[in-house]
Structure 1
């Protein structure tokens, strides 16, 4: 082997892949030679590592190995609905639950492809800038979330593809294929199926609870999507969950990890723990005495990365204690380097087509257009009595009311990036109707309260040492330690950064802190409310007395306090803030609370031709392990699925005006709206629609887009319809097992046109373990072009077997011009007609199967109106 030269050493030190710079024929080690197989290169590389070096590579932030020219790499990245948490402006698509409502695998695969391109561009730029080892610039994305949304109270359900295993599996497969690409040698990006496997809240208990599920529920509900992604989509990674399953932490589960994932499914990719999950072994689940035993057990169960902590550093001692062998550690390290080699990280850039992706693909025109398309596709028209919608564009006056009408945070969902432009519902409506229509806006209330903080501009009242504004000091640590790296005067406090974005000078938004000092001069004697909003930790004092202390992770937390004032007096305000990963934001606002008089508001806008109420909930209330102090919410989850009462009260007053009230509901989960469903003429479910949400909403409201979204979850009537949140049995859960009557069923969604079904064709009989072809003719029988989601459901019963009421086994979204017909073909796989036995095994059993095809679940009404057709297949 030739001696490594100076250029190689220099590149290794600064973190640039030397393999992109050195002539192809000159390699210091076999692992650098692209002509060798990945297996041979990985074996060679790992053979050269010390035990300590191997263990360090098993942390999410893997350090550089300078002596071999191995650059550092952070595995932690997110691409739930567009590249997340990057310092660059990127395309933000609808939240995952909204994309599920499209029932369109082609659109989802295209979205994943576009997102992978944007991620590649960011990675390539990071490499070029010598920053390839930073978090949120890598190519290993911890998406998709394919947990089953079994309970609408779960705040992270918005990240999933809904409650149905088949829909989740097909959409997840499309996402993986789009993200990972189809290059025969290189991955475009690496997807990761999470959270394996029986995991869906409650959020406040996720580090301690022990989920139990019958073998039937495990294989009928919780595992099918994971099996599809591992076995058929060849997903690169899997993330194991925080919680325990049958008494063992998921990342150390004999059944889930060893028996099913590695042995039955023959998964050869990498597994990462959820972040801080290994610490849960010995700190929360109490199944292990210390980090060494927990880490050894996790690795022996196939968990290759310890995310978020350094528990795995104890593996060095565990080897010395004979708790695990170094050969077992080699297995994990080889899996990790295999992924990095498959991503082309150790090959010359000229060999990897994806390495040529330029930064110009970020927010490119095709990407933004597709974000709008998916937002349009996601809109679900729940109700439309007497053709209230679409509205006319030439109305003289429209009132837009509600807490989500102009809420840019809500449309972005969670695990999101930041686009250059966000269109809220209010802006979308204004853009649509133009100057000829007066659009008035009233926020009216918060999501849960009828009292609003009416803000006032206090910037003219802020000064420091005779200069207007605020003294801002920034520290390159989380603890305000040492001297600030920068100090400057700012006009006020209202800052937002994505992680890694420049804060000031060369300091980036990553684990930093700030201190803001100013003197507030009161303009009047009385009182004023000061409100602080921060994404992580903050505390504020006035004249040395602490007023608020949220010096802990407090995502999107806003709190306020009253300051009694004397006219002309100065009050020294000190606001301190730290960021702990992810987005960074801190703001200081002021105003006074005022209770909204709903009757007076309704009277002010009663001359409007139409009232559009934009409400629902928000990722400010539901999400991952959040601190939320609002009625109906707890820890990121909901304690009630009912629409907050304050919103219903307001809509009652709006309805009393006699003007048509259209309810546009934003949500990441099912909301019970019994009064609205009974009393309002039109309801649109708009989810968290991404950067173009407002445009898509307006397109639907005014008829420029004919809605065809379908519910990927059941909308129940009340909390009484739900079993206990912590109960993981599927009994009476989701449309497959629910025994009651939902408000709006899974698969429901209306159109401005009508569709009819006929000419169902299927064989009279088939062998139990065989494929079955089904076809149906769909006709657009209405007066408007439109799209239809054709859904195929299977219903069967068999002695000795538990079976769903019905189960989705096929779907296709099609476009039909008015009067046009199309034959839609389905191919049912053997497993689609199989039964799951009580022990979880799959059985191919003779018997009759009812096959229903239509635009929604079959019922008496849809059969009568020819919106559903049915046939019987005999398996024998």
Structure 2
């Protein structure tokens, strides 16, 4: 408390805001009165400075924990969110995020002990993403929990509860954030100018808003992030209907609203929304609509806005009080906070590694198993081939942390099989006919793998570095989304130096490949050999004629001083190998079975990315089909006449119609986190019985999709599709067979305030123990504009072979809410309904039971 003493008029006296026996509300009410206007405004920006005279510490509100503590060094990396959604296991997800919040608190305490907190070191985490994954082309769909509002809601609430901790605790463990509010799910390339318009009330209330409402009213999420795009003409971060009418007034939300990063700039910047003339008008408009905190720097103009009469200081006080209340709730200004005793040893602990493996196993979805090709017999000779078989970084997804080790599928299979039973070959690249075989792993400096990376917050590479870190994987840096290259580094006007020593293991040409927004200079052995800027398509900037056994000092200097949207530096080095499909086929021809590990990667799909190759644009996809080079590879492999098992890694649905005809088995692996290779090998070799279910529809082909920019749900997802998909939502096979008996219902009628139980007998008729996800859908016959059916309950259940489990699901008012065309709201509407139950959303495979709502 020493920092408070200087602010006190009498030694030892406390102001009310310093009294830990008062409520957070009372303390915030007192403290806001002691701040100047300029101090208040400073606290409304994500990088909030210290105010020493009042004992307020510097604090950066921006932290990430999408599937593990992100961007802050070592952490347990769980499967990407879409993969965890495939588990349909909200109880396990709660455990996962309890583990993540343990690691987050421990990392926060350690960072605080080392000095002033930087970005990605605080207690406020901007997750979960509960947008609806309405179109598989959206690159950020991997961050969501799929296409269904109910599944998204249940998984999202588990995340919030795991992060924030028990509601009756004196202090919140962390704060979670529901994003991006609302009606936001691509495209990425035009999100700063896009206007989602003509959204029907039914789509708004039945599809786009339910998860946000549940996170606010049931899980009591502490933050909500507004989106970049406009809704019906108003930017979401200044949208009175969304933020004031719905969120604040109708739902009673009292927490913080934070802008997406740079979203306020979109209000006035030419070429973007251009709904406001300048920063002051944009900032005032955002605050008046309810956006308390800006990720950005426009709010620095708020004092001018007050002096110009655009907003009053009292209206600013409302937002500042919310921010201070949150900091008091977290104990960020206090000592002896219970959560701070969590030991740092929890980070990357064995317990958390085991949890990463468990959720990775549950995330895997067996899409196809023709002729029971899986599980593979362990005496077979197995060929493992494909661009994703040995890529550890691909496993991490986006918004990721950095695990101490990631086991790839190749590593996992090598552990399980004798060398003579496993043939490995890369086969082909993901998208091109030339493969870069990286030699990045042959770079080290002073005994440390990778490159020493030094950053300065100026363009001259002068003064005290802003950060010095070790970069152990090929570079993939971007400031898109206001992401920094390293903690403490500016978004713009910064420079970097990357240094390492490359040791050649043979005489050959090594290409240095770059994709940049900014100025790059490459030096070898102290001599500048190449330079450039705005390099695209992983340009080969320089070729080193390396000699076996020699070492080469490598230095890369990078400068970014542009006021354009973002910096970028992608770098890898290696040998260019033209794809020789026939050579790969020849190498694996003696195998008994071929496992092809293909799909795409987070370097191709993600948030507003500078990617423009065939099938991909700006982080999104233009087609959902597997890239042509992989299709060609699979066709060539098929000519061998051997069974093929296709492992698809992706954050989204793939159009796999040809592959479903060619391949005997298809396993959807997502981006499965640090234990992904282990989990996949367990499934392939029968050590784990797959149990995941699709949280999204796998369409047959791109042509089945409506216009990407059309936010109408017509023709989208299992709820509104009229054509047959390739694999439906809720689909997932097992190595055993589950048979559903006739369900029993506690009453044929339901009325408001009551509950109804559905008892579903499920028998495991196979010869393996397994888990099944029992799914309950609601349907209202005769409602022609409604979804065909919509998920309203689910339960994962373990059933030993030969046994029957009576699965009991309890339904209440929320499970029977239906869109009311009379009030344009979700209500209990009298009438006849059907409850559909089974292990899939395929309506023809579901059992039906009648129920009447009174």
What TM-score does the superposition give when structure 1 sets the normalisation length? 0.88
Q: Name the structure 2 match of 1:247.
A: 233
Alignment partner of 1:514: what SS? strand
Write the distance in 2 (CA, Å) between the matches of 1:229 and 1:535: 39
Q: Which residue in 2 is equivalent to 1:232? A: 218
* Matches of 1:202 and 1:317, distance apart in 2: 35
Aligned-pair distance for 1:515? 3.9
Which residue of structure 1 lines up, in the alignment, with residue 432 of structure 2?
449
Q: Is the 8 A contact 1:238 1:271 kept in 2?
A: yes
Could you say which residue in structure 1 is the equivalent of 2:178? 193
Shift of the alpha carbon at 1:764?
Answer: 2.1
Report the Cα offset of residue 825 of structure 1. Answer: 1.6
**Structural mapping, 1:654-693, within 5 Å:** 654-693=637-676
Deviation at 1:487, TM superposition (A): 14
> 1:75 and 2:61 equivalent?
yes
Give 2:705's aligned residue.
722
Alignment match, 1:629: 612
Q: Which residue of 1 aligns with 2:623?
A: 640
Q: For 1:418 and 1:578, how far apart are their aligned partners in 2?
A: 25
Counterpart residue number, 1:291: 279
Is the contact between residue 533 and residue 558 of structure 1 (CA under 8 Å) also seen in structure 2? yes
1 CA distance for matches of 2:343 and 2:502?
47
TM-aligned CA deviation for residue 242 of structure 1: 0.4
Say which of 235, 244, 250 aligns to 1:264: 250
Cα 1:43–1:673, aligned 2, differ >3 Å: closer, same or farther? same
Contact 1:768 1:846 in 2 (8 A): no
Preserved CA contact (<8 Å) 1:472 1:487: no
Output aligned runs, 1:597-636, within 5 Å.
597-636=580-619
Please, which of 81, 89, 95 is the counterpart of residue 104 of structure 1? 89
Determine the structure 1 residue equivalent to 2:852. 874
- 2:832 pairs with 1:848: yes
Distance 1:732 1:332 in 2: 41
Contact kept, 8 Å, 1:852 with 1:858, in 2: the verdict is no
> Is the 1:218–1:840 Cα contact (8 Å) retained in structure 2?
no
Match of 2:460 in 1: 480
Does the 8 A contact of 2:595 with 2:644 survive in 1? yes
Map of 1:503 onto structure 2 = none
Counterpart secondary structure, 1:339: helix
Moved more, 827-836 or 167-176: 827-836
Query: What are the Cα deviations for residues 788-810 of structure 1, in whole angstroms up to 9, with x where unaligned?
Result: 000001111345x6210110001
The alignment partner of 1:170 has SS state of helix
Counterparts of 1:758-769 in structure 2, within 5 Å, are 758-762=741-745, 763-767=747-751
Counterparts of 1:686 and 1:127 in 2: how far apart (Å)?
Answer: 37
Give the TM-score, by structure 2 length.
Answer: 0.90
Q: Distance in 2 between matches of 1:665 and 1:170?
A: 26
* Residue-by-residue CA offset, 1:683-738 (whole Å, 9 max, x unaligned): 10000000000000000000110000000000000111001100000010110001
Q: 1:544 to 1:127 in 2, by over 3 A?
A: closer
Deviation of 1:417 (Å):
0.2
Q: Is the CA contact (8 Å cut-off) linking 1:603 and 1:657 kept in structure 2?
A: no
SS at match of 2:264: helix
Which stretch shows the higher mean deviation, 36-45 or 475-484? 475-484
Alignment pair present for 1:326 and 2:306: no
CA distance in structure 1 between the aligned counterparts of 2:218 and 2:770, rounded to whole angstroms: 33
Q: Which residue of 2 aligns with 1:22?
A: none
Report what 1:157 is aligned to. 141
Contact residue 440 and residue 474 of structure 2 kept, 8 A: no
Please give the alpha-carbon distance, in whole angstroms, between the structure 1 residues aligned to 2:502 and 2:805.
69
Query: 1:55 and 2:41 equivalent?
Result: yes
SS of residue paired to 1:125: helix
Q: In 1, distance between residues paired with 2:571 and 2:411?
A: 23
Q: 3-state DSSP class of the match of 2:693?
A: coil
Confirm or deny: 8 A CA contact 1:494 1:586 kept in the other structure.
Answer: no
Gap change, CA 1:421 and 1:538, over 3 Å in 2: farther
* Residue aligned with 2:741, SS: strand
Q: Deviations over 1:339-373 (max 9, x none)?
A: 11111122321xx2201111111011211111000
- 1:773 aligns with 757
| Greater alpha carbon shift after TM alignment, 575-584 vs 327-336 | 575-584
1:535: how far off?
A: 8.7
Distance 1:478 1:374, change over 3 A: farther
Mark the CA change 1:606 to 1:405 in structure 2 (over 3 Å): closer, same or farther.
Answer: same
Whether the 8 Å contact between 1:104 and 1:813 is mirrored in structure 2 is yes
**Structure 2 contact 373–643 (Cα < 8 Å) conserved:** yes
- After TM superposition, list the pairs within 5 Å mapping 1:73-152 onto structure 2: 73-87=59-73, 89-131=74-116, 133-152=117-136
* Mapped partners of 1:224, 1:450: distance in 2: 45
**What pairs with 1:205-216 in structure 2 (closer than 5 Å)?**
205-212=190-197, 213-216=199-202
Report what 2:304 is aligned to.
317
CA deviation map 1:357-403 (0-9, x unaligned) = 111110112111110000000000000011100012233x3211111
The answer to whether structure 1 residue 32 and structure 2 residue 18 are counterparts is: yes
Q: Please point out which of 382, 400, 414 is paired with 2:384.
A: 400
Distance 1:389 1:672, change over 3 A: same
Q: What is the distance in 2 between the residues matched to 1:278 and 1:486?
A: 27
Of 501, 509, 512, the residue aligned with 1:531 is 512
Q: What count of residue pairs does the alignment treat as equivalent? A: 825
Give me the CA root mean square deviation.
3.5
SS of the equivalent of 1:204 reads coil
- How far apart are the structure 2 equivalents of 1:487 and 1:711? 41
Which of these residues, 303, 321, 327, is aligned with residue 340 of structure 1?
327
Post-superposition CA distance 1:101-142 (Å, at most 9, x none): 0000101101110000000001111222223x3110111000
In the TM superposition, what are the counterparts of 1:461-860 in structure 2 within 5 Å?
A: 474-482=454-462, 510-511=489-490, 513-515=495-497, 528=509, 530-533=511-514, 537=518, 539-540=520-521, 547-550=531-534, 558-561=538-541, 563=543, 575-577=556-558, 587=571, 589-591=573-575, 593-762=576-745, 763-767=747-751, 770-798=754-782, 802-838=785-821, 840-860=824-844
1:270-319 Cα offsets, whole Å, 9 max, x none, are: 01000000111111211100111111110011101110x21001110111
- Are the equivalent residues in 1 in contact too, given 2:512–2:543 (CA < 8 A)? no
User: Could you tell me which residue of structure 2 aligns to residue 504 of structure 1?
Assistant: none
Q: In structure 1, what is the equivalent of residue 403 of structure 2? A: 419
**2 CA distance for matches of 1:486 and 1:842?**
51
Q: Does the 8 A contact of 1:145 with 1:160 survive in 2?
A: yes
Q: Contact conserved, 1:736 with 1:807, CA < 8 A, in 2? A: yes
C-alpha separation in 2, matches of 1:784 and 1:104: 21
8 Å Cα contact 2:4-2:54 kept in structure 1: no
Q: 1:335 to 1:564 in 2, by over 3 A?
A: closer
Query: Is the contact made by 1:798 and 1:847 (CA closer than 8 Å) also made in structure 2?
Result: no
**What per-residue deviation string (whole Å, max 9, x for no partner) do you get for residues 814-873 of structure 1?**
11100121111222232432321346322432222111111112444x3xxxxx422111
Distance 1:48 1:418, change over 3 A: same
